[in-house]
């Protein structure tokens, strides 16, 4: 996809304009997920498909640990300004920014060192097929299960609050 249709991109921008200082991170999550779901053809086309947008379509936002996110309400103005600054032709940057924002909203970070780049913080996921706790590095993308084994491609799903409580992480 070379460009997002102007009408489609303006839908998200208009929804984001309505966010204000009394908005919550959960409000931001709801706005972005609604836009993705209403424009499902985007999730199926590149670069959105490469960034895993199909996984976001399936997210049950009410069960996600947004309150434990690494983002804060003070970040809402940055998210809003960023979305408003992009043009529909910036499709790669838009996809990457939205993916990074959504992951930051619905995952938690733990003090776990990345075995590849030695970054001190990793995001928590769950193994799609085995239910194991898994970590993914924001810096280099390395993923591994809590037992140290490597994660297979496409093997992670977002951990919900109940799962994270079960592992004693929230």
The pLDDT tens digits for 61-90 are 999 999 999 999 999 999 999 999 999 999
The pLDDT tens digits for 5-17 are 999 999 999 999 9
On the question of pLDDT at 153 being above 90, the answer is no
On the question of pLDDT at 21 being above 90, the answer is no
Question: CA 96 to CA 114: how far, in whole Å?
Answer: 21
Mean pLDDT, residues 118-134 taken together: 95
Structure confidence at residue 71 (pLDDT): 96
Mean pLDDT, residues 107-112 taken together: 96
Is the distance from CB of 112 to CB of 135 less than 8 angstroms?
Answer: yes
Structure confidence at residue 32 (pLDDT): 98
On the question of pLDDT at 154 being above 90, the answer is no
Structure confidence at residue 17 (pLDDT): 97
Report the interhelical angle of 6-17 vs 25-38 (nearest 10°).
160
Question: CA 158 to CA 128: how far, in whole Å?
Answer: 9
């Amino acid at each position: 996809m070379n460009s997002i249709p102007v009408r489609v991109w303006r839908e998200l921008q208009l929804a984001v304009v309505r966010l204000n200082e009394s908005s919550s991170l959960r409000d931001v999550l709801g706005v972005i997920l609604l836009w993705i779901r209403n424009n499902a053809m985007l999730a199926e086309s590149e670069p959105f498909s490469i960034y895993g947008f199909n996984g976001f379509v399936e997210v049950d936002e009410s069960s996600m640990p947004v309150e434990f996110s690494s983002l804060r309400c003070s970040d809402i103005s940055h998210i809003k300004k960023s979305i408003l600054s992009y043009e529909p032709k910036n499709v790669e940057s838009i996809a990457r920014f939205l993916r990074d924002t959504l992951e930051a909203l619905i995952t938690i970070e733990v003090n776990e060192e990345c075995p590849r780049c030695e970054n001190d913080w990793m995001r928590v996921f769950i193994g799609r097929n085995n239910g194991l706790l898994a970590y993914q590095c924001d810096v280099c993308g390395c993923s591994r299960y809590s037992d140290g084994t490597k994660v297979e491609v496409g093997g992670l799903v977002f951990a919900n609050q109940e799962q994270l409580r079960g592992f004693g992480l929230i």
